[in-house]
Amino acid sequence: MEQSAVNYVSMPPEWAPHERTWMSFPPPNDTFGAEGSATLRRARIAWTAVANTIARYESVTVVASSSDAATAAEMLGSDIEILEAPLDDAWMRDSGPTFVHGTDDQLVAVNWIFNGWGAQSWAAWEHDAQLGHFVSEQAGTPTSDSPLVNEGGAFHVDGKGTGLLTDTVQLDPDRNRNATKASVENEIHAQLGTNHAVWLPRGLTRDYDGFGTRGHVDIVASFTEPGSVLLHRQDNPDHPDHEVSKQLRHTLEQAVDA
């Protein structure tokens, strides 16, 4: 894996001010259910509630499949922009681009390779693999294409040079077969402007069952400020994540940041 040639400096942390949120509207599929199903209806109600809440504070753009655009417009209302594009699923954080700041403070969209969270049998990604380019074009930003199979929920940054990664995601042979920690770090640092990575050994147990992502960091740990991490906690000794949480805490306690 070759390091990409980039000319920008950093991805802001999750708590930094921003102007717009991008979302996808849930299409009928294996995870949400068939058209007309109660499960799909519940998912769309939940997505709508999130979008409308965010829209009270900043602009929101929702991408919907053409066959779902009328339903999206009816549910979301006039305050939210709706764009039409083919979709397989509705996890924009994972299949969409990662926005970073350029050296001239211009936004740049990092387009990771998306392959359905490691080409999982239940996933489809023909359309979602094109979503990064679609969003960057609609946003009017330059695009940096990465050779790394990666998802937005698979890393977290503190805005001061440190990133959280997971062994079972970036080093997943169904994502990046020949990758090493060194090659992954080179590409992550080049694209996000980080210079230090903290590797967690794994994610939560349920994330490896059924429709999971095989270890996304965004359901396990997140920076709250540089040098401070909020970590999932499981106090029930009979729960499989009791030992997982202890292992992750030990890893972070032994780690340093940039």
Which CATH number is 217's domain given?
A: 3.75.10.10
Instruction: Give the E-state strand segments of 33-135 in sequence order.
Output: 59-64, 81-84, 98-102, 107-113
Q: What does the pLDDT read at residue 95?
A: 98
Torsion (CA) 183, 230, 151, 132 in degrees, nearest 10: -120
Torsion (CA) 199, 205, 211, 216 in degrees, nearest 10: -20
For residue 36, the enclosing domain spans 8-253
Q: Is residue 1 part of a domain?
A: no
**Is residue 187 classed exposed, middle or buried when 0-12, 13-18 and 19+ CB atoms within 10 A define those classes?**
buried
Q: What does the pLDDT read at residue 105?
A: 81
Q: What does the pLDDT read at residue 4?
A: 46
| Stretches in the chain below the pLDDT threshold 50 | 1-7
Residues in contact with 146: Cβ distance below 8 Å, sequence separation at least 6, in sequence order? 4, 110, 111, 112, 113, 187, 191
Q: Is residue 126 part of a domain?
A: yes
Contact yes or no for 150/132 (Cβ under 8 A): no
Question: Per the structure, how many domains does the chain have?
Answer: 1
Verdict on whether the full-model pTM lies above 0.85: yes
Q: Is residue 200 part of a domain?
A: yes
